[in-house]
């Protein structure tokens, strides 16, 4: 597996003075010490949190282009308007006036039609947890919630992802450790070792005991001193079935609590503008 690093050769018989050699070695050791060891999932999540922390009042809005790939080869494209805060994610399906959408909050998922709740389930959105909330809330909270979702947060390994070294949080069988194996059987989070961006999430699918949702985070966009995911690809059984492209990404002042109230769904103003 490739590694990121460098090699410097020294010829101690050259004219370089002993003090210069010692100074160079000191600088090398100092630089090496800047990269804290990552040997547990907790340490990795802590480094991610420190690198990409978005602030305790984090709130974001964006427009999502959703591309569905049908088994017969057809594609359908729709627009979703989204707003997120810690533990909350609102999705409005275009056209807005129809009042159709989805809301995640307090460990529940609400489906809305015509501005009214038509279904309510117990569900924590794993993508929101890994890509949004983990960069805001305490790491201890993230570890607990990941465990509740079925991730083994005691296991950390390494793998190659698109030619780059990555850390992998979660259990991996001997078959999964084989670089030639495309089958993944356990919930996992893959993190680029250099950028500390999450690049892949494998999470259970509600109602399925044999398949995992395989989400690839294909791009990040700079925004307000940090970076936000901006393109995702969704696979199931190695088949691409959905793509998401995020535009008009904006960090906001804390959004009104009423925006995440399923009983008051119709927005008073277009929050995504």
Question: How much is the pLDDT for 270?
Answer: 78
Query: Which of 256, 264, 210 lies closest to 237 in space, CA to CA?
Result: 210
CA–CA dist 81, 90 (Å, integer): 8
Identify whether the C-beta of residue 181 lies closer than 8 Å to the C-beta of residue 200.
no
Question: How much is the pLDDT for 176?
Answer: 64
DSSP calls for 191-233: EETTT--EEEEEEEPTT-SS-EEEEEEEEEEEETTEEEEEEEE
CA dihedral 179, 182, 185, 188 (to 10 degrees): 70
Look at the alpha carbons of 10, 15, 18, 22 in this order and tell me if their dihedral is positive or negative: negative
Question: How much is the pLDDT for 207?
Answer: 62
Question: How much is the pLDDT for 29?
Answer: 39
Identify whether the C-beta of residue 152 lies closer than 8 Å to the C-beta of residue 163.
no
pTM of the model: 0.83
Across the chain, which has 273 residues, the per-10-residue mean pLDDT values are 32 40 41 65 98 91 97 95 96 92 96 96 96 97 96 95 96 65 80 98 77 95 94 94 97 90 83 77
| HEC per residue, 154-173 | CCEEEEEECCEEEEEECCCC
């Amino acid at each position: 597996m490739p590694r990121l690093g460098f090699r410097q050769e020294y010829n101690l018989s050259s004219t370089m003075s002993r003090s210069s050699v010692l100074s160079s070695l000191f600088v090398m050791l100092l630089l090496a010490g800047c990269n804290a060891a990552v040997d547990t999932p907790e340490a990795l999540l802590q480094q991610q949190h420190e690198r990409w922390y978005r602030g305790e009042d984090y709130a974001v809005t964006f427009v999502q282009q959703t591309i569905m790939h049908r088994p017969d080869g057809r594609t359908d494209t729709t627009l979703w308007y989204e707003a997120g805060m810690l533990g909350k994610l609102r999705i409005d399906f275009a056209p807005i006036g129809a009042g159709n959408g989805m809301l995640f909050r307090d460990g529940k998922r609400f489906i809305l039609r015509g501005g009214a709740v038509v279904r309510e389930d117990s569900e924590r959105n794993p993508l929101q947890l890994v890509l949004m909330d983990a960069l805001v809330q305490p790491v201890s909270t993230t570890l607990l919630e990941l465990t509740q979702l079925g991730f083994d947060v005691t296991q950390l390994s390494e793998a190659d992802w698109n030619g780059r070294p990555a850390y992998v949080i979660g259990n991996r069988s001997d078959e999964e450790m084989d670089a030639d194996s495309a089958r993944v059987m356990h919930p996992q989070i893959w993190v680029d070792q250099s950028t500390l961006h999450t690049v892949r999430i494998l999470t259970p699918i509600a109602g399925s005991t044999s398949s995992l949702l395989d989400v690839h985070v294909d791009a990040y966009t700079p925004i307000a001193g940090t970076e936000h995911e901006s393109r995702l690809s969704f696979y199931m059984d190695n088949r691409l079935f959905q793509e998401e492209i995020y535009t008009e990404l904006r960090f906001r002042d804390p959004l009104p609590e009423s925006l995440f109230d399923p009983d008051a769904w119709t927005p008073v103003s277009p929050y995504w503008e």
